[in-house]
Amino acid sequence: MQEFLEEPLTEEESLLLQPFITNSDRAVFGLRNLPEVVKGALFSRYSRSDKSLRRILLDEFIKAPEASFTRIVGGGSDNSADQLVAIQQAEAFYDRVLIGYGDDSVAELGGAHLACEGISNIAAKALEDSRLGISPLEKSTRYVPFNRKINGRYRYYREPSIMASTHAQRYEATLDYLFDTYTDLIEPLLSWVQERTPKDRTTSERAYNNATKAKTLDLLRGLLPMATLTNVGLFGNGRAFEYLLVKLAASPHPEVRILGASMQQELDQIIPSFVKRAKTERGAQYSRYISTNWNRTKYLAQQHLGQIQPAASSTVQLVEYDPDAEVKIVAAILYPHTDLTWEQIQEYVVALSTQERVEIINTYVGDRESRFHRPGRAFEQTYYTFDVLADIGAYRDLHRHRVLTQERQHYCVRHGYVIPTELEEANLAQTYRKALEYAAETTELISQDLPDAAQYVVPFAYRVRWRIKLNLREVYHLVELRSSRQGHPSYRTVAQEIYQQINAVHPTLVANMHFVDLNDYALERLAAEQRIDTKLQQLNQN
């Protein structure tokens, strides 16, 4: 690397900085042991200063009395309460740096980890609807049985407006019935799964037990209602959190609004400067803007469409694609390698033969040795829209893809439910059905008085309709990931259908999707568990 040309630090300065930077003499260095607000403020100065970051840290923070630097970093101690008080006292200083020198994006310079526990699936989905800047992780219905009771009660959200209504008893009876059925079916279904797919000699006890347990819980998750309590961990930057808080405050569900207020309270202790606008009049106004427009358009939609009955539809329907996709993709592939205008390139590509275009596409994609070898941005030049009607379980999983545009209709029971064929084969479908149908009656009953709250009753087996719009690059990622053997069968079906339907209209564009898996498996998790065994053996050997 070239010599790093920057005014050198004195020995004393290096010593002062040493706890906070990973090196004091190279062009690339990291920040450490600094609170989020200091890192954010420090970075925000980058765009308005000729100094190096080390120099800014020294001159404008460590040596500036109004920055309360020594107290904020605890003088070496790690007392976060003292740190918070010091940050609050120096708030005017940080506000000046953050707002005075930066723009909205400075709130992306600090982040927080937040745990949201004991929230319903309605609330979990509201959190996970975030895209840019938030990374969520949620307790899995595949690996964790959801039937543990606390103080003799199943863990589901007792929705306050329902509990205060005449429906309270029916609500609890229905949800208890769903959880009782889930609990009662675990053992017989696990035995059936193990009988159907006995352990072979090469599979370990650990891998086999995990794979059969996962299969059983996958088959039963359809009984879990949207009220089921779960845990969601979020890592995000301040800007993304601020926007999320505004959106949560606009929710029709009181649980979600209360959750947003609790999140604000905790974020105020970690990244206060970055999320403060969510609780000001500006934030409240933004929330009102979202909820007012939502309610008005909902009313209009009712006026326009309220009398029309839904037509029969398939699980996945390709409703929009670009007939010129191939030309646009090829033009986008060539674009960075010439100095011609887009129009010139496109005009040239239109005149090419299919064989010539295919050669360009294949060269661009190259030899993909794994699904991680994704085609580049030229594949973002064309989009597909799908209308999907699949069980809520599948929606919960696919909704997590943040690069897509996805929007769902409300959770209801009108589109019927999906029952895994394995339950029929195991002779357990009748019990499953009875619980689902009772839940449907309860949902309809409550929705006459409390339509928003009634959604808490809907079990994951019921279908929900949603729209997916995605570009071809994301198609490769989603289809190859979500069709892979270890995936849940219900979203594997959606991913496989997306592939088949694009293949029917644009075969040349998906010809390089080598890692789509169109097979069915009796024990989806087994191969993944066997790979874990191999890794465990390697770890033990080292």
Ligand X SMILES: Cc1cc2nc3c(=O)[nH]c(=O)nc-3n(C[C@H](O)[C@H](O)[C@H](O)COP(=O)(O)OP(=O)(O)OC[C@H]3O[C@@H](n4cnc5c(N)ncnc54)[C@H](O)[C@@H]3O)c2cc1C
Place of tokens 């209209």: 505
| Pairing between β-strand 153-154 and β-strand 405-408 as defined by DSSP bridges | unpaired
Q: How far apart are CA 287 and CA 285, in angstroms?
A: 5
Q: Which residues of 421-441 are buried (b: 16+ CB within 10 A; e: fewer)?
A: ebbeebebeeebbebbebbbe
User: Least Å distance between CB 354 and ligand X?
Assistant: 30
Closest CB to ligand X among residues 326, 474: 474
User: Least Å distance between CB 35 and ligand X?
Assistant: 22
Among 515, 509, 499, which residue's Cα sits nearest to residue 361? 509
Closest CB to ligand X among residues 140, 534: 140
307 exposure class (CB count in 10 Å sphere: 0-12, 13-18, 19+): exposed
386 sits in which H/E element: strand 383-391
Closest CB to ligand X among residues 279, 477: 477
Closest CB to ligand X among residues 12, 369: 369
User: Helix (H, G, I), strand (E, B), or coil: what is residue 390?
Assistant: strand
Closest CB to ligand X among residues 170, 401: 401
Residue sitting closest to ligand X (CB)? 140
Token pair of 384 as six digits: 């597909």
User: Least Å distance between CB 213 and ligand X?
Assistant: 14
Residue 234 near residue 113 (C-beta atoms within 8 A): yes
Which residues on adjacent β-strands are paired with residue 462?
417
Closest CB to ligand X among residues 360, 481: 481
Token pair of 542 as six digits: 């080292």
User: Least Å distance between CB 461 and ligand X?
Assistant: 19
Q: What is the DSSP string of 237-253?
A: EHHHHHHHHHHHHT-S-
User: Least Å distance between CB 402 and ligand X?
Assistant: 4
Q: How far apart are CA 450 and CA 438, in angstroms?
A: 18
User: Least Å distance between CB 373 and ligand X?
Assistant: 13
Closest CB to ligand X among residues 20, 182: 182
Amino acid letter, residue 283: G
User: Least Å distance between CB 115 and ligand X?
Assistant: 13
Residue 388 near residue 316 (C-beta atoms within 8 A): yes
Closest CB to ligand X among residues 400, 415: 400
* Binding stretches for ligand X (CB under 6 A): 135, 137-138, 140, 400-403, 477, 481, 486-487
- Residue 344: Cβ within 10 Å count: 12
Token pair of 344 as six digits: 């010139």
Closest CB to ligand X among residues 209, 471: 471
Which residues on adjacent β-strands are paired with residue 406?
468
- Residue 135: Cβ within 10 Å count: 14
User: Least Å distance between CB 472 and ligand X?
Assistant: 13
Closest CB to ligand X among residues 456, 476: 476
Residue 399's φ and ψ, nearest 5 degrees, are -60, -25
Residue 390 near residue 408 (C-beta atoms within 8 A): no
Residue 485 near residue 524 (C-beta atoms within 8 A): yes
List of residues 6+ apart from 170 with CB closer than 8 A? 442, 445, 446
Closest CB to ligand X among residues 140, 317: 140
User: Least Å distance between CB 21 and ligand X?
Assistant: 25
Residue 453's φ and ψ, nearest 5 degrees, are -65, -30
Residue 2 per-residue DSSP state: -
User: Helix (H, G, I), strand (E, B), or coil: what is residue 487?
Assistant: coil
User: Least Å distance between CB 371 and ligand X?
Assistant: 10
- Residue 75: Cβ within 10 Å count: 10
User: Least Å distance between CB 323 and ligand X?
Assistant: 26
467 sits in which H/E element: strand 463-471
User: Least Å distance between CB 99 and ligand X?
Assistant: 25
